[in-house]
Amino acid sequence: MPVTDLSADEALADGFSIADIEAAAGRITGVVRRTPLLESTRLNDRLGARLLVKAECLQHTGSFKFRGAYNRLSAMEPDVRARGILTYSSGNHAQGVALAARMFGVPATIIMPSDAPAMKRRNTAEYGATVVPYDRHGENREAIGQRLAEADGLTLVKPYDDLLIMAGQGTAGLETVAQCRELKATPELALAPAGGGGLMAGFSTAMKASFPALQVMSAEPEGYDDTARSLATGVRQANAGTPPSICDAIMTPVPGVLTFRVNRRTLSGGVAVSDDEARQAMATAFEELKLVIEPGGAVALAAVLSGRVDVQGKTVVVVASGGNVDAAIFADALVLGR
Amino acid sequence: MPVTDLSADEALADGFSIADIEAAAGRITGVVRRTPLLESTRLNDRLGARLLVKAECLQHTGSFKFRGAYNRLSAMEPDVRARGILTYSSGNHAQGVALAARMFGVPATIIMPSDAPAMKRRNTAEYGATVVPYDRHGENREAIGQRLAEADGLTLVKPYDDLLIMAGQGTAGLETVAQCRELKATPELALAPAGGGGLMAGFSTAMKASFPALQVMSAEPEGYDDTARSLATGVRQANAGTPPSICDAIMTPVPGVLTFRVNRRTLSGGVAVSDDEARQAMATAFEELKLVIEPGGAVALAAVLSGRVDVQGKTVVVVASGGNVDAAIFADALVLGR
C-alpha cells in the first residue's frame, strides 16, 4: 500500500463532490438569492457565440462570497458560533461574513487591508462587524487572525481554503446548471474569476457534474495568474510580488491548498487579463447587461470579450462574481473602457 | 339606460383586468426574462422600511418595453405582421419593438426623436430596425407614423395606448406578485415610473388583483407630472411645454386615453422628482443594488429615497423600469448623486 502524507483535509478535498454542494444548497435555500443568468442578443451577435453571464454581483452583499459564508456559519455548532466569527478579507468575503454573522446574531471581527476599497470597508462596518485594518504589504493576515482567534475564542472562517466555503460558492454553479437547462443551453466552456480558488472549485465541480464535457477555465489579473501557472505546472505557484492592479478582489498570493486539489482535477487551464481589458468588460456589462461589475469580478467576461479565449460558435458561461466598486473607478472604466 | 359616448376601445379599457395580463403571460413565457426582485439590507436599514426593487433594467433590450412589444406582435395575424411594424418611441419602446420584430423575422420602422440618447438610437438600428429621426419640438410623431403606415401597409404598434401593450407590461407585475410571495412580503405601497402610463396600468392591475389593499402611485419627472395632475383632477392633463429633463424615457406630453381610464381606477396618486433626485437614486442603485438604471427608470426609486413619499415601517415595491443610459450621464450621476 502506498504511503500517503495527505492531511485529513486534503483527503476530504480529493473527495469534494456535487454532494457537498447539494448539501450546501439545502442549508442556504431561501436566504441566498438565485441570481439571474443573463444574455444579450447584441453581445451574442458581436461574439458569434452564445454568452451567458451569471450575475453574482446581484447576490446579497454584492458578491458570491455570501454563499460560502452563510453555508459555513449554518454548519457550525450554535454555542461555538455564538462566541464569534473572525476572518481576513480584502472586502467581499468580509461583507459576506458580516451579513451572515448578523443574520445569526453573532459578533464578527474582520481583518481587512488598510488599502481596501472605501466602499468595502464602510459596508462591512455597516453590517455591524468590527473591522481591524492591516498593511497588505508588510503584515501577515493569517498570523494576525490566528492571534485574535486564540485570544478571544473566535472561530476563523477562512476566505476559500475550507470545504464548506467551497461548497457554498458551488451553489452558484448548481443554479447555473438549472438555468442553462431552462434556456436549453449546453455550455461548452465556462470561466470564473480566481483569487484563492474557492469559487472556481465549487463552480467547476457543480457544472462538470451535469455537463461532463464542459471545459472550465480560471480567469485572473495579469501579475496574479498563480492559478493558471499552477494548473500548467501541476503544483501550486505563488505570484512574484504584489504589482499594482485594479482587481483588488482577487490579488491573492497563491492558490489554496484544498482549492487547488479540486481545481487541478476540474479545470482545463487559466487565462490572465490586463486592467484595461477588465475595464472594457465593465463598460460592456454596463452597456449591454445593465450590471455593475467590479474589476476583479469582470475578469472572466474580459477573457471572452478580449479574445484571449476563442469562443466562436460556442455556448459559454462566465461568472460576474462581484459588483463592489468605488464610483470613481467605475466612472473611469466607462470612459477608458470604450 | 344612460347614454354613453365611449369608444369601443375605451369600453375595453374599462374592462381591462388581470385576465388580460394572464393571457399576455401565456404568450411571452420562455421569451421574456423573469427579472429579479432585489432587496438590500443596508438600504432597508437606512429607510426603516422593506424596499423591493423590480429590476426591469435587466429585461431584454434593457427595459420593460420588450414585454408589451412581444405580446402585441404575438397576437397579430401572421400575414399582417409579415408586412411590417411601425412605431414611434424615444428609445426604449423602439428597442423592444425592434427585438420582437427580429424574433418574428418581420421588418420594423421606428420613428425616433433626433435628440434621443445615442445608445438608444444605435441599439435600435443594431437590432435591424430602420430608424426615422424626427424633431421632438417641431414635428408630430403620431402624424408621421400615420403617413408611413398608410403608405407601406405597416401596422402601427403604439407605445402605450393599446390594451395588448398594457397587458404585456403588466406581466412585470404578475412576476412581482409571485416574487413577493416567495419573499413572504405583503407590499403596502408600490411605485412605478409613468410616461404614457402603459406600465402603470398593467403593473397596478396585476398587483392590486393579488394585494387589494395595496396603494399604487405613479412617479414622474418634475415638469412632466401629467399623470399626477390628471389623477388629482380626474381628467387628463397635459404638461406645459417641454422643459429640460434627464429623464428622456418618460417625457410624455399627456397620459394615454386608455391607460388613464385604467390608472384612474387603480392609482392612489402621483409624485414628481427632480433630476438631482433621479441622479441620487441612480447612484444608490449603483452602490447598493449593482444595477444600472437610467434617469427615467429611477424616478420611482427616487420618490422613495428622497422622502417624497413616506415609507417608514412599510413594505414597498418600486419598479426600476430601464437601464439604457449613456455612459457620460451615468458617470455624472455617480459623482453628482453622492
- CA-CA distance, B295 to B8, in Å (whole number)? 36
- CA-CA distance, B249 to B294, in Å (whole number)? 8
Nearest to B331 among A58, A123, A335 (CB): A335
- Name the closest residue on chain A to residue B336, using Cα atoms: A327
* Per-residue b or e along A43-63, where b marks 16 or more CB atoms closer than 10 Å to that residue's CB: bbeebebbbbbbbbbbbbbbb
Residue A136 confidence class, pLDDT cut points 50, 70, 90: confident
β pairing state of B50-55 and B37-38: antiparallel
Task: Print the SS3 string covering chain A.
Answer: CCCCCCCHHHHHHHCCCHHHHHHHHHHHCCCCCCCCEECCHHHHHHHCCEEEEEEHHHCHHHECHHHHHHHHHHCCCHHHHHHCEEEECCCHHHHHHHHHHHHHCCCEEEEEECCCCHHHHHHHHHCCCEEEEECCCCCCHHHHHHHHHHHHCCEECCCCCCHHHHHHHHHHHHHHHHHHHHCCCCCCEEEEECCCCHHHHHHHHHHHHHCCCCEEEEEEECCCCHHHHHHHHCCCCCCCCCCCCCCHHHCCCCCCHHHHHHHHHHCCEEEEECHHHHHHHHHHHHHHHCECCCCHHHHHHHHHHCCCCCCCCCEEEEEECECCCCHHHHHHHHHHCC
What's the gap in Å between the CA of A215 and the closest CA on chain B? 27
DSSP B248: G
Cα B243 to Cα B92, B193, B329, distances in angstroms: 20, 18, 18
Is B319 within 8 Å of B203 (Cβ atoms)? yes
Cβ-proximal residues to A38 (8 Å cutoff; 6+ apart), any chain: A52, A53, A55, A289, A291, B33, B58
Determine whether the interchain pair A334/B327 forms a contact, defined as Cβ–Cβ distance below 8 Å.
yes
Query: Which sequence spans correspond to the domains of chain A?
Result: 2-63+162-336, 66-156
Query: Across residues A11-29, what is the average pLDDT?
Result: 96
Chain B residues with CB under 8 Å of A58 CB are: 36, 38, 55, 289-291
Would you state the pLDDT for residue B4? 57
Q: Which three cell numbers stand for residue A64?
A: 458570491
Is A154 within 8 Å of A261 (Cβ atoms)? no
- Name the closest residue on chain A to residue B338, using Cα atoms: A327
Would you state the pLDDT for residue B2? 47
- Name the closest residue on chain A to residue B327, using Cα atoms: A334
- Highest mean pLDDT: which range of A106-110, A123-127, B144-148: A106-110
- CA-CA distance, B313 to B5, in Å (whole number)? 45
Would you state the pLDDT for residue B117? 84
In a mutagenesis test of the B interface, which of A290, A321, A335, A338 is the best target, namely the one with the most B β-carbons within 10 Å? A290
Would you state the pLDDT for residue A113? 87
Where does A66-156 sit in CATH, by number?
A: 3.40.50.1100
DSSP B285: I
pLDDT per residue rounded down to tens, chain B (338 residues): 444 567 888 989 999 999 999 999 999 999 999 999 999 999 999 999 999 999 999 999 999 999 999 999 999 999 999 999 999 887 899 999 999 999 999 999 999 988 888 888 888 899 999 999 998 888 888 888 888 888 889 999 999 999 999 999 999 999 999 999 999 999 999 999 999 999 999 999 999 999 999 999 999 999 999 999 999 999 999 999 889 999 989 999 999 999 999 999 999 999 999 999 999 999 999 999 999 999 999 999 999 999 999 999 999 999 999 999 999 999 999 987 65
Is B43 within 8 Å of B51 (Cβ atoms)? yes
Nearest to A331 among B60, B123, B331 (CB): B331
Chain A residues with CB under 8 Å of B119 CB are: 287
Q: Count contacts between A and B (CB, < 8 Å).
A: 82
Across-strand partners of A134? A113
Mean pLDDT of chain A: 94
Query: Across residues A96-124, what is the average pLDDT?
Result: 92
Q: What percent of chain A is modeled with pLDDT above 90?
A: 82
Chain A residues with CB under 8 Å of B126 CB are: 42, 45
Determine whether the interchain pair A99/B45 forms a contact, defined as Cβ–Cβ distance below 8 Å.
no
| Chain A residues whose C-beta sits inside 8 Å of any chain B C-beta | 33-36, 38, 41-42, 45, 55, 57-58, 60, 62, 99, 102, 119, 123, 126-127, 283, 286-287, 289-293, 323, 327-328, 330-331, 334-335, 338
Which residue is associated with the grid cell 424596499?
A: B51
Would you state the pLDDT for residue A338? 57
pLDDT at residue A335 greater than cutoff 90: no
Chain A residues with CB under 8 Å of B38 CB are: 33, 58
Chain B residues with CB under 8 Å of A286 CB are: 292, 327, 330
Would you state the pLDDT for residue A4? 57
What's the gap in Å between the CA of B182 and the closest CA on chain A? 8
Cα B23 to Cα B18, B165, B262, B289, distances in angstroms: 9, 12, 18, 32
A121-125, A302-306, B36-40, B294-298, range with the lowest pLDDT: A121-125
Is A187 within 8 Å of A207 (Cβ atoms)? yes
Which residue is associated with the grid cell 426600476?
A: B320
Q: Do domains B2-63+162-336 and B66-156 have the same CATH topology?
A: yes
Determine whether the interchain pair A291/B289 forms a contact, defined as Cβ–Cβ distance below 8 Å.
no
Neighbour tally for A242: CB within 10 Å: 12
Q: Which CATH class is domain B2-63+162-336?
A: alpha beta
Residue A282 confidence class, pLDDT cut points 50, 70, 90: very high
| Chain B residues whose C-beta sits inside 8 Å of any chain A C-beta | 33-36, 38, 41-42, 45, 55, 57-58, 60, 62, 99, 102, 119, 123, 126-127, 283, 286-287, 289-293, 323, 327-328, 330-331, 334-335, 338
Task: Give the torsion through C-alpha atoms of B300, B302, B308, B314, to 10 deg.
Answer: 70
Determine whether the interchain pair B123/A42 forms a contact, defined as Cβ–Cβ distance below 8 Å.
yes
